[in-house]
A and B are shown apart, each in its own frame.
Chain A
Amino acid sequence: DGGITQSPKYLFRKEGQNVTLSCEQNLNHDAMYWYRQDPGQGLRLIYYSQIVNDFQKGDIAEGYSVSREKKESFPLTVTSAQKNPTAFYLCASSLIQGRNSPLHFGNGTRLTVT
């Protein structure tokens, strides 16, 4: 079955360490997205990519980095510059050609930094 795989489900890191969250999709979707979810703040866009080797900053990109070397993969690195990295992270993808294409989501990664 096609879908989006995020790994791991839970991730623990010490403060000052960089950490990379994995996101892989086999839906042949053009666009991929990273969202951060905090209680009471909904989903906030970190980065998105509409084509391989290209990506754009979302609303809260500071302290994060991404790459899009393959259509299927869009890893997110949470750097030590991110001041409050503990959160739930959701990866998503969508078609671009389909005008009403909804977002398809992975199951998320819960990152805890202590």
Chain B
Amino acid sequence: AQTVTQSQPEMSVQEAETVTLSCTYDTSESDYYLFWYKQPPSRQMILVIRQEAYKQQNATENRFSVNFQKAAKSFSLKISDSQLGDAAMYFCAYRSVMSGTYKYIFGTGTRLKVLA
């Protein structure tokens, strides 16, 4: 079974600085998708960025980018020019596409604090 691990329960970053959140996963599949979700205090889950495993190019969405290392099974999220509104819980998620079962598996999350 696939697992997702986020080893940093909490991170802090100074406003305007850069921070990287870690995510590793375990799978025997070669084709899958990875996602980062943000959960602000409102508890609404917001998609931040997604990555297809068959694409070598790292995904980028404005100030958010990923470092996808398929061999290492690592999928870290980099937030550049951090803003106060980035403060939230961040969840890494894995979606299988090969088994015909479209489950999304989440890590335990990283709480990001942004310091003014």
Contact = CB atoms under 8 A, between A and B. Distances in A.
Contact of B45 (A58, A94, A103): A103
Interface in B40-60: 42-45, 47, 50, 52
Nearest to A40: B108
Interface in A65-110: 88, 90, 92, 94, 96, 99-100, 102-103, 105, 107-108
Contacts, number: 53
A99 B52 contact: yes
Contacts of B35: 102-103
B25 interface: no
A35 B39 CA distance: 14
A56 B101 contact: yes
A20 interface: no
B33 interface: yes
Given A42-B109, A43-B91, A103 B103 contact: no
Nearest to A38: B108
A45 interface: yes
A107 B63 CA distance: 25
A108 B104 contact: no
B97 A45 contact: no
Interface string A28-63: 000101010000111111001010000010100000
Interface in B70-116: 91, 93, 97, 101-109
Interface of A: 31, 33, 35, 40-45, 48, 50, 56, 58, 88, 90, 92, 94, 96, 99-100, 102-103, 105, 107-108
Interface of B: 6, 9, 33, 35, 37, 42-45, 47, 50, 52, 91, 93, 97, 101-109
Q: Which 7 A-B pairs have the closest CB atoms?
A: A105-B45, A42-B108, A43-B106, A102-B47, A42-B106, A42-B109, A100-B33
11 contacts: A42-B109, A48-B103, A50-B102, A88-B43, A92-B104, A99-B97, A100-B33, A103-B93, A103-B104, A105-B45, A107-B44
